[in-house]
Amino acid sequence: MATMTRRSGSQQGFEQLLEYIGEHLDFESGFYNDAYMDRRITARMRRTDTDSYRAYRRLLERDDGEREELLDSLSINVTGFFRNPDAWDGLRSVLRDLTGQNRQVDVWSAPSADGREPYSVAMLALDDPEIDADRIDILGTDINHEILRTARAGVYETSKTTDIADELEPLSEIEPYVDRDGNAFAVRDGVKDMVSFEQHDLIRGDPKGTFDLILCRNLLIYIDSAYKVPIFETIEGSLRDGGHLMIGMTETIPTEMRDTFEAADKQHRIYRKR
Ligand SMILES: C[S@@+](CC[C@H](N)C(=O)[O-])C[C@H]1O[C@@H](n2cnc3c(N)ncnc32)[C@H](O)[C@@H]1O
């Protein structure tokens, strides 16, 4: 579909538009696959009634607001508490096992987006009597500084598109973990104390520490295949031997890395470093 759109438009116009975005919008369009970029751009073109890539580029050149809108729609920051709830059953078992070994357990959520993923790990640990939350430390990292500000604040709003109470459904109760004021849900200190946030680029950044469990979910789907291996090298370098990696439900381990990771719980996309 994306190719068809480009053929009926202009390949050259599309490439020039990507070049413009790379140079003027502080966005590394080259990291993301063309189909993804095309979907987001054509959606903005529909919203602005623009009928060619060239015309859209001219619109970006003259309209600051549209540059902001496009950046917003490109920042792929969709996330949620307990995203894909079934997968969290797999994670629950891993956390029970790890904390049962009577030692410190280090968890890395990368990318963390606005923090709802690492906070979900903390809430799950506090909520499950068989997980020893006192032994768990969680780091959340993302490339996007702005989104990390939201993560640190830890306040989320129910809106037309997001139902926070619904997202928190996997917990036995929510009151111990969030302070609810109408549509606003503020993560409580007991949860926040388990999580810290830092900016980090999974493609160009160095490995970070030695973790027992890494969650790298729902970034690979947008990334051009050339950049998947660097991401997995960062992960491999940050995971202790035998450590666990969880990826997104629609994601796979790149062929080049299949000797490094073996399936621990295939159904929930959990792997173990050999
Ligand atoms: C769709 S969200 C996924 C968040 C969460 N893991 C989840 O599954 O809900 C993708 C996030 O990746 C971040 N991101 C994009 N490129 C990145 C990179 N090179 N390094 C680290 N984070 C990146 C984006 O800022 C965005 O917050």
> Are both 128 and 248 inside the same structural domain?
yes
> Are both 23 and 68 inside the same structural domain?
yes
pLDDT attached to residue 9: 59
From 37, 91, 141, 143, mutation site for ligand 1 pocket: most ligand atoms within 8 A of C-beta: 143
Residue 192 lies in a domain: yes
> Are both 126 and 232 inside the same structural domain?
yes
Dihedral of the alpha carbons of 270, 123, 146, 160, in degrees to the nearest 10: 100
**Residues sharing a CB contact under 8 Å with residue 108, sequence separation 6 or more, in sequence order:** 138, 139, 140, 141, 208, 209, 211, 213, 214, 215, 238
> Are both 112 and 55 inside the same structural domain?
no
Ligand 1 atom at shortest distance from the alpha carbon of 223: 16
H or E segment to which residue 196 belongs: strand 195-199
> Are both 111 and 220 inside the same structural domain?
yes
> Are both 26 and 127 inside the same structural domain?
no
Q: What is the mean pLDDT of the chain?
A: 93
Residue 79 lies in a domain: no
Ligand 1 atom at shortest distance from the alpha carbon of 201: 20
**pLDDT tens digits for range 43-77:** 999 999 999 999 999 999 999 999 988 988 886 78
Task: Give the residues surrounding ligand 1 with Cβ less than 6 Å away.
Answer: 75-79, 83, 111, 113, 117, 142-144, 147, 201-203, 217-219, 248
Residue nearest to atom 25 of ligand 1 (CA): 144
Q: Starting from the edge strand earliest in sequence, which strands make up the sheet with 105-109, in order?
A: 195-199, 136-142, 105-109, 211-216, 239-247, 270-273, 261-265
Distance separating alpha carbons of residues 21 and 12, to the nearest angstrom = 14
> Are both 14 and 135 inside the same structural domain?
no
pLDDT attached to residue 171: 98
The number of folded domains in the chain is 2
pLDDT attached to residue 6: 54
**pLDDT tens digits for range 11-20:** 899 999 999 9
What's 123's domain CATH number? 3.40.50.150
- Measured in Å, residue 6 CA sits from the centre of ligand 1 at 26
From 116, 142, 147, 208, mutation site for ligand 1 pocket: most ligand atoms within 8 A of C-beta: 142
- Measured in Å, residue 76 CA sits from the centre of ligand 1 at 7
pLDDT attached to residue 161: 84
Residue 81 lies in a domain: no
Backbone angles phi, psi at 262, to 5 degrees: -110, 150
> Are both 170 and 249 inside the same structural domain?
yes
Distance separating alpha carbons of residues 125 and 121, to the nearest angstrom = 6
DSSP 58-104: HHHHH-HHHHHHHHHHHS-----TTSSTTHHHHHHHHHHHHHHTSS-
pLDDT mean over 121-149: 96
pLDDT for residue 160 is more than 90:
no
> Are both 210 and 168 inside the same structural domain?
yes
- Measured in Å, residue 51 CA sits from the centre of ligand 1 at 30
Domain end call among 43, 74, 105:
74
- Measured in Å, residue 199 CA sits from the centre of ligand 1 at 11
pLDDT band at 2 (very low <50, low <70, confident <90, very high): very low
Query: Which residue, 137, 140, 152, 139, is CA-closest to 186?
Result: 152
Residue 188 lies in a domain: yes
> Are both 183 and 60 inside the same structural domain?
no
Domain end call among 26, 48, 74:
74
pLDDT attached to residue 25: 84
* 23: three-class secondary structure by DSSP: helix
Percent of the chain with pLDDT over 90: 81
pLDDT mean over 95-116: 96
> Are both 172 and 222 inside the same structural domain?
yes
Domain end call among 74, 99, 114:
74
pLDDT for residue 4 is more than 50:
no
> Are both 197 and 244 inside the same structural domain?
yes
pLDDT mean over 202-222: 94
pLDDT attached to residue 22: 87
Please answer whether residues 15 and 44 qualify as being in contact, where contact means their C-beta atoms are separated by less than 8 angstroms: no
Domain coverage including residue 170: 87-273
